[in-house]
Amino acid sequence: MSFDVDLFVIGGGSGGVRAARIAAAEGGAKVALAEESRMGGTCVIRGCVPKKLMVNASVLGAAVADAKAYGWQVQAGGFDWGHFRKALEAELDRLENAYRNTLTGAGVTIHDARAVVKDAHAVRLADGTRITARHILIATGGRPFVPDIPGADLAVTSNAMFHLDALPKRALVVGGGYIASEFACILNGLGVEVTQYYRGPQILRGFDAEAREHVAAAMQAQGIAIHCNADVARLEKVAGGIRAHATDGTAGDFDLVLYATGRVPNSAGLGLEALGVRIGARGQVEVDGYSQTSVPSIYAVGDVTDRVNLTPVAIREGHAFADTVFLGRPTRADHELVASAVFTQPELGTVGLTEEEARAAGPVEIYAATFRPMKSLFAGRQDRMLMKLVVAADSRRVLGCHIVGEGAGELIQLAAVAIRMGATKEDFDRTVAVHPTVAEELVTMRKPVR
């Protein structure tokens, strides 16, 4: 049976683009890709990339104060959101084009349209064009979820944060995960008065408890009003703003309310259920270790499968799919020991087991140090850095590493290599320190703290 293309990819985000490029450029496949919004997907257009640029912008306010402490005669003149937004938009345009060029350079045909699956080997574009494909890859990502509370329409999601006309004076952030905590810090750094409500006892559930405490305490010290064990029950429009009523009886008025209460897979309306593609309770497309769905010609990668919802993981899944199907190299998507960083201020970098998870699995030794980094100490700042290794008492393997402080995202990448290789605490100890750095603490913690 002949098909129009060997592979049709729905979704031009991290996972879909990687799969399309490898299948075409390395697998020699005839590939088409449809994207209904902007090429690059959540990460590039409304996620990791613009978020990190906002983080970069927001830490510079404190850097000006540090520069003064170091003797520079500088004065922060206030943050110009309009200037930043324009530069951000230009950068996103550049990146979107780069993604397009990479794909077309690899021979992939791009359709700037929504596509839905019509049968196991065919898709239909928004204009009615039908395209047949030997394989179909669903890489449609996810979207923000907002709970159905009265006044929810007054809130925005992270999608809107990069397009604000102006920065608010007072912002409320709802949620305690990556996105909520990162935006609370970004806005605070840009001079916005920030309140954060989180329904649980401590923000960043799932991360190492000591690291969460450390991040939350530092955020509060910087002036973010974190309300834990409290959720927003309803929002109402009032003169000059939005009033939020919380479950703990408190209320406050804000200019902007950001809901960052999780994301859900974009699987609805694609024609998948009708075809018998198994969809899970959270809307995720169910796949096996090779990202194959219950319909053999249809695969899915990235956030739409709700496995580990991180860009580098989607990229790996997309690559493994292309290797498996088009390069004759069956490759399972690997979700072991995925390091990640939360770009709060201070940053949190993490890989492997938390202390709590490791303790539940067996005897552990905990090595931890908190200290004031030389750079900020000199500038008169009080912030402390946390370095922590979770070690298996019997095998001596380092099971987890948690770092809070400047550069934690960069540091954790390298710790992840060692841990992935099975490094023991003694391997860390044998490694000579690089001095003077903050990272040297990782190889100089001699005695367990518990």
Binding residues (CB under 6 A) for ligand NDP: these are 147, 175-180, 182, 198-200, 205, 231, 260-263, 309-310, 340-343
Closest to 396 in 3D by CA, of 373, 365, 370: 365
Tokens representing residue 233 in the block = 């029950």
Query: How many Å apart are CA 269 and CA 364, to the nearest integer?
Result: 48
CB of 396 to ligand NDP, least distance (A): 29
Query: How many Å apart are CA 389 and CA 325, to the nearest integer?
Result: 39
**Residues whose CB falls within 8 Å of the CB of residue 233, separated by 6 or more in sequence, listed in order:** 149, 150, 245, 246, 247
Tokens representing residue 137 in the block = 């890859």
Tokens representing residue 200 in the block = 């649980």
Query: How many Å apart are CA 39 and CA 172, to the nearest integer?
Result: 31
Complex with ligand NDP: residue 117 or 216, whichever CB lies closer: 216
DSSP string over 151-208: TGGG-B-GGGGGS-SS--SEEEEE--SHHHHHHHHHHHHTT-EEEEEESSSSSSTTS-
- Single-letter code of the amino acid located at 289: G
Closest to 325 in 3D by CA, of 3, 4, 55, 31: 31
DSSP string over 101-139: HHHHHTTPEEE-S-EEEEETTEEEETTS-EEEEEEEEE-
335 is catalytic: no
CB of 48 to ligand NDP, least distance (A): 6
Closest to 342 in 3D by CA, of 157, 205, 196, 189: 205
Q: What is the 3-state secondary structure (H, E, C) of 15-72?
A: HHHHHHHHHHHHCCCCEEEECCCCCCHHHHHHCHHHHHHHHHHHHHHHHHHHHHHCCC
Complex with ligand NDP: residue 115 or 419, whichever CB lies closer: 419
- DSSP label at 279? B
Complex with ligand NDP: residue 50 or 241, whichever CB lies closer: 50
CB of 406 to ligand NDP, least distance (A): 16
Complex with ligand NDP: residue 11 or 27, whichever CB lies closer: 11
CB of 390 to ligand NDP, least distance (A): 20
The single residue of 83, 335, 402, 435 carrying the catalytic annotation is 435
Complex with ligand NDP: residue 198 or 326, whichever CB lies closer: 198
CB of 350 to ligand NDP, least distance (A): 10
Complex with ligand NDP: residue 147 or 252, whichever CB lies closer: 147
**Residues whose CB falls within 8 Å of the CB of residue 421, separated by 6 or more in sequence, listed in order:** none
**Residues whose CB falls within 8 Å of the CB of residue 323, separated by 6 or more in sequence, listed in order:** 22, 329, 330, 331
Closest to 68 in 3D by CA, of 325, 342, 381, 426: 381
Query: How many Å apart are CA 350 and CA 348, to the nearest integer?
Result: 6
Tell me the CA end-to-end span of the chain in Å, nearest whole number.
65
CB of 72 to ligand NDP, least distance (A): 31
CB of 414 to ligand NDP, least distance (A): 17
Complex with ligand NDP: residue 161 or 445, whichever CB lies closer: 161
Complex with ligand NDP: residue 82 or 206, whichever CB lies closer: 206
Residue of closest CB approach to ligand NDP:
177
Radius of gyration of the chain from its Cα atoms, rounded to whole angstroms? 24
Complex with ligand NDP: residue 260 or 298, whichever CB lies closer: 260
CB of 142 to ligand NDP, least distance (A): 7
CB of 179 to ligand NDP, least distance (A): 3
Closest to 317 in 3D by CA, of 33, 11, 45, 19: 19
Would you name the residues annotated as active-site residues? 435
